[in-house]
Amino acid sequence: MDPSNQPASSPSVTVGAAAIGARAGTGAKPAKPLRNPCNLCQSVRAILKRPKTGQQLCKECFFHVFETEIHNTIVDNKLFKRGDRIAIGASGGKDSTVLAYVMKLLNDRYDYGLDLVLLSIDEGITGYRDDSLETVKRNRDQYQIPLLIVSYKDLYGWSMDDIVKEIGRKNNCTFCGVFRRQALDRGAIMLNVDHIVTGHNADDIAETVLMNILRGDLPRLQRCTSIITNDTSEDSSGIETSKILRSKPFKYTYEKEIVMYAYFKKLDYFSTECIYSPNAYRGHARIFLKDLEAVRRTTIVDIIHSGEALSASVQANESTKLPTMSTCTRCGYISSNELCKACLLLEGLNKGLPQLGIGHTTKIRRMHEQANLALGLSSPASLSGGSTPVGDGASDVEVKVVTHIKDLGRLKNMPTLDSVC
């Protein structure tokens, strides 16, 4: 059944007492009143209190409500259509593990007709990502979903460990975030998928809204609050370079409820935090959000709704719209500048100028021009790939330049779906 044909309903689920009673069994009353009965079925003792609504629920009612809310989010927003090939962004953490489990469960229960695959990105973080990928491989076997793993080392020639050695602990999340977004798209192209789903939850979206507001970056509110996005552009030959949709089925799902679902379902997930993330700016927004949530339970969803309202206002204001998107002159990836952010960051790394891609646009361009001038290069276009000797005679140096990402399909060491399934 096409999920778009399912009856629409609110993401907040109210389960009928009759349905719950039928699911609970005979409905026979206990000899004495239950202490703290489930607010829905009234026949079993509640074992948890939902952070989102304050309801006290038994385990089975919580499972039912949690899964039904996600189903309603998928249906109401028409995220998929029958026959779509869907890549699930899998990191091995609680969010992506629950997402993979629930997507398979709902696909079977409601007959969405989706072809599901797992897509993992190996950033190259020793003691973190290598361990979490083992969890992803177990999930692949447990859920019987094919898996493709794509690494930064194969795509860019740098692992995150290499990058941190070069730049230190500050700003490394900027590199990782930019590279991961592009790596997901490249992996999705290899898998020939129509759609990528990620485990971004309500807490993540609220944090991003706060970060954008605190940085004064209001134009980006539209992207971070949209449940589904689409980056589409054309290269110089008029060929569309990206038509892959991205969506967040957990947009209205609280992180605490995802943790409770994984715990009660006994799902296999990796819970260690990235060793480089304690220095991330997002951590400060997360602490602030948790403090607000302790005072007001609905803070997370309130911030999301505020971000959506601000996004609508920003869209109506011509002066604050996002820049027109075109394509990177080097790799063909979608970009608002001559070089995409990934190519700019890579160029800085390869030239020994890791701060080249960090900071305001005008500063980036100035550093970029100065770096090219120092190396005797007139423009970014002169860097076509490989190692290029530059300079004057005795002072010649060999400069490692950016891998042309359009050529990645021809890399012999790139993993394939068959080789890792």
Tokens read off for 332: 């063909």
C-alpha 389/C-alpha 375 separation (Å) is 9
What pLDDT does residue 282 have? 85
Residue 265: its H or E element: helix 255-265
Look at residue 370 in the predicted model and tell me its pLDDT.
64
pLDDT for residue 336: 73
Check if the beta carbon of residue 23 is closer than 8 Å to that of residue 73: no
Q: How many whole angstroms from its chain centre is CA 20?
A: 34
CA dist., res. 352 & res. 363, Å (int)? 17
What is the full DSSP assignment across 146-193?
A: -EEEEEHHHHHS--HHHHHHHH-STTHHHHHHHHHHHHHHHHHHHHT-
CA distance 117 to 138: 14
Instruction: State the SS3 of 285-351.
Output: HHHHHHHHHHHCCCHHHHHHHHHHHHHHHHHHCHHHCCCCCEECCCCCCEECCCCCHHHHHHHHHHC
Tokens of 400: 């490692």
What is the C-alpha to C-alpha distance for residues 421 and 419, in angstroms, rounded to an integer?
Answer: 6
Would you list the DSSP string of 197-217? Answer: E----HHHHHHHHHHHHHTT-
pLDDT at residue 18 greater than cutoff 70: no
β-strand partners of 240: 234
* Per-residue model confidence as pLDDT tens digits over 124-152: 999 888 889 999 999 999 999 999 999 99
- What's the pLDDT band for 280 if we cut at 50, 70, 90? confident
Which pLDDT does position 411 carry in this prediction? Answer: 39
Q: What are phi and psi of 164, to 5 degrees?
A: -65, -35
**Could you give the 3-state DSSP secondary structure of residue 118?**
strand
Q: In whole angstroms, give the CA distance from residue 330 to residue 373.
A: 19
| Complete domains list, the chain, with CATH | 1-78 (no CATH), 80-320 (3.40.50.620), 335-406 (no CATH)
Q: How confident is the model at residue 173 (pLDDT cuts 50, 70, 90)?
A: confident
Please tell me the distance from the alpha carbon of residue 154 to that of residue 171, in angstroms, as a whole number. Answer: 22
Mean pLDDT of the chain: 78
- Which two structure tokens, joined as six digits, stand for 54? 């304050």
Using the predicted structure, report yes or no on whether residue 328 has a pLDDT greater than 70. Answer: yes
Structure tokens at 351: 């030239």
Q: Which residues contact 49 (CB under 8 A, 6 or more apart)?
A: 55, 56, 57
Helix axes 255-265, 94-109, angle to 10 degrees: 70
Residue corresponding to tokens 């629930």: 102
| Amino acid code (one letter) for 107 | N
pLDDT (tens digit per residue) in 336-356: 778 888 888 888 888 777 776
| Euclidean distance between CA atoms 144 and 52, whole angstroms | 32
Highest mean pLDDT among 10-19, 90-99, 218-227, 321-330: 90-99
How many angstroms from the chain centroid is the CA of residue 78? 19
Convert the pLDDT of each residue in 373-418 to its tens digit. 666 654 443 333 333 333 334 333 333 333 334 344 433 344 444 4
Q: Which pLDDT value is given to residue 401?
A: 34
